[in-house]
Amino acid sequence: MIQGRTAGLRARHADDVAVLHAELYEDVATRSRADSRPWRPLTADHSPYAPTGPADDVAFFSVVELASGELAGEAVLWGIDAHNRSAHLGISLRPGSRGRGLGAETVHLLCRYGFTVRGLNRLQVETLTDNAAMIGAAERSGFRIEGTLRRSAWVTGAFVDEVILGLPVEEWRGA
């Protein structure tokens, strides 16, 4: 487990799937804002949160609140490019775990994993321009807004803007 002060990242366990699926995937409005792919009805047996075998281009984690040991959400480093030493990161916290600083710590822990364990040179976040929580969490780890993709995301009936935030390893605040 990769531990911070209040949160930790661990491997996804099979018993995490039902909780993450019910609270994150079945919330259609939230899921539609968090994933560029369209929501479709899936059972927990086919959940996108189901553990998969190891892969070189993605690392899935469950986020755990250390004080209680409770599952707080999910985190992922995806699109890992070993040649260019870059990746994208994303997080999604359960509704009861939001607003307590776990998001910022989770972003920091993903940066620690990407930069110190995987030896990456750059991390990137793509999020909707109105996602102040994710933008703030990323900026606290040193990410900077690099651009806006105008009307690039189809979210529940409308095109909305996305922002790209980037962080090279030498600017990381945990280095």
The Cα–Cα gap between 109 and 128 comes to 22
Q: Quick one: 126 exposed, middle or buried, by C-beta within 10 A (0-12, 13-18, 19+)?
A: middle
The Cα–Cα gap between 16 and 11 comes to 10
Q: What pLDDT score was predicted for residue 41?
A: 93
Which single residue is written with the structure tokens 């209040």?
6
Q: What pLDDT score was predicted for residue 51?
A: 83
The Cα–Cα gap between 7 and 65 comes to 5
Q: What pLDDT score was predicted for residue 145?
A: 98
Q: What pLDDT score was predicted for residue 175?
A: 56
Beta bridge partners of 123: 87, 167
Point out the residues of the chain with pLDDT beneath 70: 175
Q: Which tens digit of pLDDT belongs to each residue from 133-163?
A: 999 999 999 999 999 999 999 998 999 999 9
Q: What pLDDT score was predicted for residue 3?
A: 96
Q: What pLDDT score was predicted for residue 174?
A: 73
0.75 exceeded by the pTM?
A: yes
Largest separation between any pair of C-alpha atoms in the chain: 43
Domains, the chain, ordered by start: 2-171 (3.40.630.30)
